[in-house]
Structure 1
């Protein structure tokens, strides 16, 4: 089944969203909080692309959101995190610094 125009826009936008998400993410946030924020951004991506392509109805909205979730996750884990770009952006835009280091056991 070929992808529709809104789905293609959702996928294209999702490829470049991980660095944008990294601007807001903080290194001290837990993994589930970061994942929840990514899901919110993916939902906004899917809803926005469906709306602006005049395809704001059930199947298109759901497929755009699911496609955005998959593409954001895949590009983050295969491109943005291994290259160090997304973690570097998180550290550079952190408001509270990096998480405190655990002291050694003998100290």
Structure 2
């Protein structure tokens, strides 16, 4: 595993909290999935750039590692514990207004 992939794994694991801040409960599943994909792409790109591995294969693998880490963390930790849904609801303007 490269440094870029390791950073993508670490940051990707924590990214469901950021995704929950961005997502809104009233959004469609497609919109929510798009946010997850975009955050994973940004995490992968940032990790590769930060680690100095900003080249074709390293960038793509970092994006994929970030996506798998985010999905796994969300489904295995943040959703069952109720953390992500609570963050999403607390940061949603519709819930506050």
* Counterpart selection for 1:87 from 80, 85, 88: 85
Matches within 5 A, 1:54-93: 54-93=52-91
Larger radius of gyration: 1
CA RMSD of aligned residues (A): 1.1
Q: Unaligned regions of 5+ residues in structure 2, if any?
A: none
Q: Summarize deviations over 1:24-75 as a string: whole Å, max 9, x none.
A: 1100011111111000000000000111111110000000000111110111
Q: Give the TM-score normalised by the residue count of structure 1.
A: 0.86
Point out the structure with the larger helix share: 2
Matches within 5 A, 1:1-107: 3-97=1-95
Aligned length: 96
Q: Unaligned regions of 5+ residues in structure 1, if any?
A: 99-107
Q: Give the TM-score normalised by the residue count of structure 2.
A: 0.95
